[in-house]
């Protein structure tokens, strides 16, 4: 072991034994706690997560039966079934050692101790415990990755100038560890972009862990994100690592971050600031090393202005911001995306010869696509399933009228200055009065924005 690790509890009523344990083990382990009174064991276990507990079998003066030790062993294992208890028996008392092992002790030592034997036994148990913990974390990780692989992730398809700018930003930011906030309507590809950032980052060999904050009930928020200790609440039947801990080394994708309750925002902020988590029911900090990518379809700046989202949390997550345009603002992408999905679904539904009819693509490119790419994907899948001819007709796409582009209002102004003033007002509103952001959204420099606001008496 290079850095000292491992927490050891030694319980014995003989001060000499405790002194020897400290002397032998201290140079090799992070913490050696000694306890003369067995009545304090359970309190110590609540305070610290010990890797090895060395337990004497006799405490009352003159007793040798080992009954007390067996009782304490049972109590320890009842409080923490995963505890690794190493029992101390008198030399030659094999029957007691066997009894203790049957009741769940991990190994036994005989007194008087041989120092080398004491150290090698404790070390072996510590390594075993560490491996078990690692296996458990890996199992959780594997489950999350498996869930992930079950979803279909396609390559990013685009030929629009609007998306060119996005790819440029992704290229620049991917190799850094900067926190990224992706904004955009539902179905615009926020998750796809988050995965792309991870794929191009130096963390790509580690996991990409997604947390859908919109679907986690407030009561489970802390345990899902930070993990819990066994017994921390009714359903906590065993120790479990949270998503932040599991994502360590890789990227954590917090989807729907605009949906979390204010009290949870405060807890998340603390964890991100301190770069460590504490599992629910534990007071032991665990360091985390994650690249944070967040996404939301909510008007996050308006939410900050309305005190629904903490400004300090926003500043923590938005080192770089990527605003994904809705599909209606990248009409150039509609036909290649439609072709892409047609290709997928005609194979899936064994209709290889199906193609788009003449007017069909026109209908698709004119539509407003409020559900963006996801809506287009579902519309093509549905049309492929329902079509009974070789060409997909406009009528195969049941696009709701209410989703059509808003008609141009009568009396709508075409005066450039009025339009510009209106655009500035809208941008300021959208950005919660943040001038720097509003200037970015408008494509002006900050000083130009000031000048124009002066000009329009704003
Ligand atoms: N440019 C693209 N090329 C190909 N497929 C895309 C593209 N953008 C999005 N998609 C697909 O559209 C669907 C929705 O994308 P994604 O889940 O990334 O959107 P989102 O913005 O995260 O959605 P939500 O806000 O609802 O969580 C996915 O199936 C995704 O693969």
More confident position, 201 or 64 = 201
pLDDT in tens, 208-225: 999 999 888 888 899 999
81-129 pLDDT, tens digit per residue, is: 889 999 988 766 788 888 999 999 999 998 888 999 999 999 999 999 8
Q: How far is CA 43 from CA 9, 39, 40, 380, 447, in A?
A: 12, 8, 5, 62, 63
Which atom of ligand 1 is nearest the CA belonging to 377?
Answer: 12
Average pLDDT, the chain: 88
| Position in ligand 1 atom list of the atom nearest CA 194 | 18
Kindly list the structural domains of the chain, giving each domain's residue range(s) and its CATH number in brackets, ordered by start.
Answer: 5-129 (3.40.50.2300), 161-323 (3.40.50.300), 327-403 (1.10.8.60), 416-455 (1.10.10)
Residue pair 195/155 in contact by the 8 Å Cβ criterion: no
Lowest mean pLDDT among 223-232, 294-303, 406-415: 406-415
Residue 1 — very low, low, confident or very high, per pLDDT cuts 50/70/90? Answer: very low
Distances (CA, A) of 315 to 277, 282, 318: 20, 29, 5
Atom of ligand 1 nearest to the CA of 158: 1
Ligand 1 is surrounded, with C-beta below 6 A, by: 153-154, 156-158, 184, 186-192, 255, 297, 373-374, 377
- Asked whether the beta carbons of 319 and 179 are under 8 A apart, the reply is yes
Q: How far is the CA of 290 from the centre of ligand 1 (A)?
A: 23
Distance 154 CA to ligand 1 centre (A): 9
Tens digits of per-residue pLDDT, 404-423? 444 445 455 667 777 788 88
Ligand 1 atom with the smallest distance to the CA of 255 is: 27
Between 240 and 62, residue with greater pLDDT: 240
What does the pLDDT average to over 269-286? 92
Question: Residue 195 CA: which ligand 1 atom is closest?
Answer: 18
Q: Where residue 394 falls among pLDDT bands split at 50, 70, 90?
A: very high
Q: Which of 192, 208, 375 to mutate to test the pocket of ligand 1 (most atoms within 8 A of CB)?
A: 192
Give bridge partners of residue 285 from the DSSP assignment: 278
CA distance 89 to 66: 8
Kindly report, residue by residue over 368-392, the tens digit of the pLDDT.
999 999 999 999 999 999 998 899 9
CA of 166 to the centre of ligand 1 (A): 14
In whole angstroms, give the CA distance from residue 428 to residue 436. Answer: 10
> Does the pLDDT at position 22 exceed 80?
yes
Phi, psi dihedrals of residue 240, rounded to the nearest 5°: -140, 135
CA of 186 to the centre of ligand 1 (A): 8
As a whole number of Å, the CA-based R_g of the chain is 31
pTM: 0.65
């Amino acid at each position: 072991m290079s850095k000292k690790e491992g927490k050891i509890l030694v319980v014995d009523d003989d001060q000499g034994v405790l002194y020897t344990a400290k002397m032998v083990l201290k140079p090799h382990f992070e913490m050696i706690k000694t306890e003369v009174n067995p009545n304090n064991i359970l309190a110590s276990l609540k305070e610290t997560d010990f890797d090895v507990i060395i337990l004497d079998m006799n405490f009352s003066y003159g007793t040798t039966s080992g009954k007390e030790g067996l009782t304490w062993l049972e109590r320890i294992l009842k409080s923490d079934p995963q505890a690794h208890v190493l029992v101390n028996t008198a030399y030659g008392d094999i029957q007691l050692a066997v009894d203790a092992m049957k009741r769940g002790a991990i190994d036994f030592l005989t007194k008087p101790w041989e120092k080398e034997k004491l150290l090698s036994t404790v070390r072996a148990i510590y390594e075993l415990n560490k491996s078990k913990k690692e296996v458990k974390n890996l199992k959780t990780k594997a489950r999350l990755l498996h869930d992930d692989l079950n979803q279909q992730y396609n390559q990013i398809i685009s030929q629009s100038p609007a998306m060119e700018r996005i790819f440029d930003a992704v290229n620049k930011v991917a190799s850094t560890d900067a926190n990224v906030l992706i904004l955009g309507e539902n179905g615009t590809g926020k998750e796809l972009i988050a995965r792309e950032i991870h794929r191009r980052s130096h963390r790509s060999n580690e996991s990409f862990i997604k947390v859908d904050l919109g679907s986690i009930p407030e009561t489970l928020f802390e345990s899902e994100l930070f993990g819990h200790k066994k017994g921390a609440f009714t359903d906590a039947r065993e120790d479990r690592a949270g998503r932040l801990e599991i994502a360590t080394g890789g990227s954590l994708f917090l989807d729907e971050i605009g949906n979390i309750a204010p009290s949870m925002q405060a807890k998340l902020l603390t964890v991100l600031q301190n770069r460590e988590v504490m599992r629910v029911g534990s007071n032991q900090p665990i360091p985390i090393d994650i690249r944070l990518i967040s996404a939301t379809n909510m008007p996050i700046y308006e939410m900050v202005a309305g005190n629904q989202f903490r400004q300090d949390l926003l500043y923590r997550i938005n080192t770089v911001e990527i605003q994904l345009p809705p599909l209606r603002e990248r009409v150039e992408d509609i036909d290649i995306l439609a072709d892409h999905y047609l290709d997928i679904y005609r194979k899936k539904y064994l209709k290889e010869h199906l193609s788009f009819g003449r007017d069909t693509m026109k209908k698709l490119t004119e539509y407003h696509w409020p559900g963006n790419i996801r809506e287009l994907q579902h519309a093509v899948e549905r049309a492929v399933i329902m079509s009974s001819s070789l060409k997909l007709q406009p009528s195969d796409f049941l696009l709701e009228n209410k989703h059509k582009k808003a008609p141009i209002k009568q009396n709508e102004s075409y005066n450039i200055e009025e339009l510009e003033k209106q655009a500035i007002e809208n941008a300021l509103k959208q950005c919660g009065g943040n001038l720097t952001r509003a200037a970015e959204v408008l494509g002006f420099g900050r000083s130009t924005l000031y000048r124009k606001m002066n000009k329009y008496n704003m």
